[in-house]
Amino acid sequence: MEQLSKAYDPSKVEDKWYAEWMDKGYFRAEVDKNKQPFCIVMPPPNITGQLHIGHAVNNTLQDILIRWRRMQGYNALWIPGTDHASIATEAKIKDELAKEGLTKYDLGREKFLDRAWQWRERYGRRITSQLKRLGVSCDWSRERFTMDEGCSRAVIEVFVRLYEKGLIYRGDRIINWCPECKTALSDAEVEYEEEHGHLWHIRYPFTDGSGYIVVATTRPETMLGDTAVAVNPNDERYKDFIGKTVILPLINREISVIADEYVDMEFGTGAVKITPAHDPNDFEVGTRHNLPVIRVMADDGHMNENAGRYSGMERYEARRAVLADLEAQGLIDKTENHVHNVGHCYRCSTIVEPIVSKQWFVKMEPLAKPAIKAVRDGRIQFIPQRFANIYFNWIENIKDWCISRQLWWGHRIPAYYCHVCGNVIVSAQRPDTCDKCGSDDIEQDHDVLDTWFSSALWPFSTLGWPDHTPELEYFYPTDVLVTAYEIIFFWVARMIFSGLEHMGDIPFKYVLIHGIVRDDEGRKMSKSLGNGVDPLDVIDKYGADALRFTLVTGNAPGNDMRFYWDKVEASRNFANKIWNAARFVLLNLNGQDIEPPSPDELTLPDRWILARYSQLVEEVTSNLERFELGLAAQKLYDFIWSEYCDWYIELSKVQLHQSEAVKANTLYVLCHVLDGILRLLHPYMPFITEEIWHHLPKSGDTIMLAEWPRVEAEFMFEDSIDNMQSIMDVIQAIRNIKAEMNVEAGRKPKVVLVTNSSYEPIFQANAQYIERLAGVSGLNIKSDKSDISADAVSAVTGRAEIYIPLGELVDIAKETARLKKEYNELCTELDKTKVKLSNQSFITKAPPAVVQAEKDKAAQYQAMIDSIKERLEHLEK
């Protein structure tokens, strides 16, 4: 049999096995009604993306679950794919065009889309090829793209259905507008940051010359669009002003003072300007009071023709001009510092402008209700549970979802407008003529849909919906969704209500939430800090297995983790430890056949490692069932490193030199447990486990499809665990004494072990292991304490007391001489420091820190002298 190479080299192993797995079609899953399905859909990375550490965590977790279930015999399907990322991709193309001195309008829609598709061809698969290096076992033959033919059909179908049910409508509403991206954004795409701004108090004079009313605002430029001033009807201060009119400064429009409960009497002056076109609350007030809606800002963030002399100014330039003019007219009552939340575009960080705009919306209330219920009644479970609260908090307060985007890259809205009669036709196919007036002068809506509109359908569009495919029937609902907590709103909630609405069933049973990876100081990784870690670098240096293991150990679901290179090194060392253990086993096996022994022929160490292995199988399996992937990894690490490598392999060295029968049994146990731990570890470290497994006596072509280990009742020797533990405790105690007493290497003391008569036979039968592993030349086991020399060093374990006569540990004459020499040297040093400290000029002239250092030195010498004196007295007794 071919032996393992001396050192493990991931680069020689990883690509080879990935190619083999792909070639043999091991990732492929077919509908098979005789098997139970297990399905995960991959959160589709953006085609603009490059593999970052967040993808690495997310996909490692999914791969562990998929590989584990596949080995358990489930029909495991992991569907990969990518997202067209409307706004992000469009930004990339625009940047590319800008380098050629072009805008998207120079190209026109059709040519721009050609460029986008070319871009997607060139870069869109970069991320998937990077994912493959991680070892992900997804079914690449089923790879999807949110804008492929099938997913696009699903999107249009959903739009038409929701429109026909009255759940999609078009209307003028306040939306979040990004003047940089020039598109509407949904609420979830706005990131709020606390900022220090101002609250300006502005005087609005009454028309009748009877003074003024003061309103407070953080966005004074929007006053140009004011159509009322509002006060709370219960506010005594303003009772008499309700119904009066004021002159809107700078614009000289006459507007009324109205009463509305919405006004907060505590905020500012208790009187507020009402700008229905530029504030969501004002829009509501305006609707209640039939106020005109006057937009004063254009889509590019500049003031429009309604802004009087400010028209054409950029919004913040206009703010300064408005304030200067108000100041000049004596209309600024006062200016306060004010901390408030300002919304920024999640793509470009530009401050978003709430603006009234004609957009398409999804009516959320009827869709949210069943989505709340599905999580409330436990059909969908969040892991950890606490994330359900974030979900409830968001979805219970959800507003209608603005789904139209003023972009070109994406799914174009299937709405058609008749230029003759104004009729709106929503249809999956482009109509030839208007169904009202018969005109053929019709034009499709220019806008595309929010990217999340298509990813909301991902769990069923990828399985063939709207067609009733066998895959959809068999694999839906999927089992687990693995995602970072950051996109619970964006994505998870929308998949849940979409699944319930269009499939009549939940999209997945579990939502496994993971945290984000921070740097070693706990900071978020970011381009500006330059503290990002490229997973491909880690793979190049340490191998994919080491990266994967690092990303899942020591971490509980939902918690953020920190990235330490030390930890990756430790994972690499773990891989090497397994490799060396496997080499040891294979060298000793030397190609011979092994047979399962009869249990009564096994030694205590054999029985112990087999029993502990069975416990490990039980624990790891139940940890995985509870999504405790980090805990299971830790148990595997501890078992392999300590119990298998550091203990059993060392114990086996005693047995491999005994009779042929003992040797054969030992080889069987070594191989059997190694085979089992490779299987258990395979989901975490797929490459090294596959490589080693192929050198073991085995059945099957790949460890990927090997059976997941089961608890072996025939090897569950319960009593062996305590018995072996008592032997190991004694070995450890003797090792500790030798270390504490500085016993020279190779010196093998005689040891007395006192135990009670019931344990005596166990120690007697296994004395050879204690002698060999603790480095002992004779073990005297007895049940009484007679004849133990008074100077013996002792230790106590659970089942025994250990005594080692001092003379066994050290040569008393030599040790006494050595200690006396050390004692004299220390006394000389102490005298020197004492002389220094009694020198008055040193004490007064030397810096205090130097004097203190000298005092510390003296104290330290004294302590060492005392301890040597004590040891000498002990020796001379």
Interface residue list for Zn ion (CB under 5 A): 178, 180-181, 345, 347-348, 350, 418, 420-421, 423, 434, 436-437, 439
Nearer to Zn ion, 418 or 602 (CB): 418
CB 346 within 8 A of CB 191: yes
Radius of gyration of the chain (CA): 38
353 or 501: whose CB is closer to Zn ion? 353
Report the residue number, 190 or 594, with the smaller CB distance to Zn ion: 190
Nearer to Zn ion, 113 or 437 (CB): 437
371 contacts 500 by C-beta, under 8 angstroms = yes
Contact between 709 and 679 under an 8 Å Cβ cutoff? The reply is yes
702 Cα distance to chain centroid: 30
If the CB atoms of residues 233 and 438 are measured against Zn ion, the closer one turns out to be 438
Q: Distance of CA 278 to CAs 4, 167, 302, 402, 499, Å? A: 71, 25, 14, 16, 35
- Which residue, 94 or 363, is less far from Zn ion as judged by CB? 94
Q: Are 280 and 291 in contact (CB under 8 A)?
A: no
Nearer to Zn ion, 179 or 464 (CB): 179
Shortest approach of Zn ion to residue 407 CB, angstroms? 11
Compute the least distance from the CB of residue 343 to Zn ion, in Å: 11
CB of 198 to Zn ion, least distance (A): 24
**Sequence-distant (≥ 6) Cβ neighbours of residue 722 within 8 angstroms:** none
- Note the helical H segments in 124-262: 126-133, 149-164
Select from 660, 697, 656 the least CA-distant residue to 678.
Answer: 697
**Quick one: 216 or 345, whose CB is closer to Zn ion?**
345
Enter the DSSP assignment of 29. -
- The 8-class DSSP code of residue 783 comes to S
Shortest distance in whole angstroms from residue 348 CB to Zn ion: 3
Task: Work out how close the CB of 344 gets to Zn ion at its nearest, in angstroms, rounded to a whole number.
Answer: 8
Output the smallest distance, CB 612 to Zn ion, in A.
58
Backbone angles phi, psi at 160, to 5 degrees: -65, -45
Give the C-alpha separation, 452 to 533, whole Å: 28
Cβ of residue 427: shortest distance to Zn ion, in angstroms?
A: 14
- Which residue is associated with the tokens 């020198």? 839
Q: Shortest gap between Cβ of 449 and Zn ion (angstroms)?
A: 17
Q: CB of residue 18 vs Zn ion: minimum separation in angstroms?
A: 39
CB 183 to Zn ion: min, Å: 7
Nearer to Zn ion, 84 or 405 (CB): 405
Question: Which is nearest to 601 in space by CA: 665, 670, 652, 658?
Answer: 665
Nearer to Zn ion, 66 or 181 (CB): 181
Closest distance of CB 399 from Zn ion, Å: 20
- Per DSSP, the residues of 784-806 read S-TT--TT-EEEE-SS-EEEE-H
Question: In this complex, which beta carbon is closest to Zn ion, that of residue 136 or of residue 418?
Answer: 418
Most distant CA atoms of the chain, gap in Å: 119
Q: How many helices (H) and strands (E) does the chain have?
A: 30, 29
CA distance 204 to 825: 93
- C-alpha 533/C-alpha 97 separation (Å) is 30
- Give me the torsion for CA of 223, 224, 225, 230, rounded to 10°: 30
Q: Provide, rounded to whole angstroms, the least separation between the CB of residue 353 and Zn ion.
A: 11
Which structure tokens are listed for 696? 């073991």
Kindly tell me the burial class for residue 832, based on how many C-beta atoms sit within 10 Å of its own C-beta (0-12, 13-18, 19 or more). Answer: middle
CB of 181 or CB of 728, closer to Zn ion: 181
Q: Which residues contact 701 (CB under 8 A, 6 or more apart)?
A: 24
